[in-house]
Amino acid sequence: MQERCAAALQAAATQPALAGLSVLERLAIRPSTETLYASLLYQFVAFCKEQTRSWDSAAALDAVLVLFLNHLFLLGHGPDAGSQTLSALGHWLPELGRATRTLLPRAARCTTAWRRRVPPRTRLPLPRALAGAIAGLLIHQGLPRAGLLVLLALVAYLRPHELARLRARHVVPPVPAAGPAYAAWGLLLGDSLTLQPGKTGVWDESVLLDLDPWILRPLEALKSALQPDALLCNLTPGDLKARFEGAATLLGLAPLRPSLYQLRHGGASEDLALQRRPLAAVQRRGRWQSETSLRRYSKESKLLAILGLVHPDAVAFGQSVIDNLEAVLLYGLLDPRSKVVLGPAIHALLTSGAPVPAQGRAAASSSRQKPR
């Protein structure tokens, strides 16, 4: 009970006390979401002051909001700005609540038209081979745990904050004696003991590592080397993000705007593209509450397009890292016992630090074509 009170008061203290919301009302959403909502609300209020607009009813608010949404649209904002503005008003004005779209019909119609005219800015999926290349480069840079966790985020569809919170006790070994359903390693997410639920507020979610045996022995070794409450990642979330993006840039992946979230997208897209799991299983594994949410992440055809923009040495290198993960972690990438196919571009990267040229495959294929 004391831990719950302390956690609630600490979380509430980090959130701005706008609109006089109570502690539980302010804890209804994550602090990062409330920061976003507060920013949108301040923009809306500033717009109203500049335009000398006010409202005294839901209909009047709807009319002013229509002007504000059109203003954001013409400035080039993405469609998420519209739907997030409605959500922000629903949070800060509890009288609107879940009826926001009903009470503000014109504004809701604007957000629908906005989304139809402008595609949402979703992240591209990161193919498995490219995640392997980034992991291999991190291992070569002396960050074996970071490299292993990059691959874990891929196969388990982990969000970045879920990856950062994983502790050794959250890696749960199998119990084969209990039957086939308990014969796989698993991850425990949204641990109720640490009062950290998942993104959707669900406690003690689980993900089974059932189709990727290549990651199990390194993960088991890491768990065995740590105390139960020790974090799996020995970098801060900011450092892991910077290291991940830096390795991706060296591999020529900067045009993909690399982010840790792309590992989650890539894992789901790979499983769907290779038909390793049915759609319902991917949805359950990714903890998406609706199939509509999943559609934003299942970009199987994008995987081929992305791989076609990357130097073939990077693709082969990444796949070799996955195929020989234990050897890579044990011996290192430049040791002949690691059995990793480097290729000239990757070898040059590891020995000199020179970035791998992007679009290598397209350039190589065009140079081999005979003129017609």
CA-CA-CA-CA torsion for 111, 116, 119, 122, nearest 10 degrees? 60
All residues at 6 or more sequence positions from 77 whose CB lies less than 8 Å from its CB, including other chains: none
pLDDT of residue 360: 44
Mean pLDDT by 10 residues, the chain (372 residues): 53 52 76 85 91 87 94 90 90 80 92 85 85 96 96 96 93 88 88 55 78 95 95 95 95 90 92 90 88 68 84 94 93 82 90 75 37 35
Closest to 34 (Cα-Cα) out of 12, 51, 49, 57: 12
* Helix, strand and coil percent figures for the chain, each rounded to 5: 65, 5, 35
Amino acid at 270: E
In sequence order, the β-bridge partners of residue 171 are 187
Say what the pTM is.
0.77
Strand order in the sheet with 185-189: 171-172, 185-189, 205-209
E strands along the chain, which residues? Answer: 171-172, 185-189, 205-209
pLDDT of residue 230: 95
Q: How far apart are CA 83 and CA 114, in angstroms?
A: 9
Specify the residue for token string 């319902």: 280
Specify the residue for token string 């509450």: 289
**Directed axis angle between helix 105-117 and helix 58-74, to 10°?**
20
pLDDT of residue 308: 85
Closest to 357 (Cα-Cα) out of 244, 241, 255, 259: 255
CA separation (Å) from 76 to 19, 47, 79, 277?
29, 16, 9, 38
pLDDT of residue 197: 53
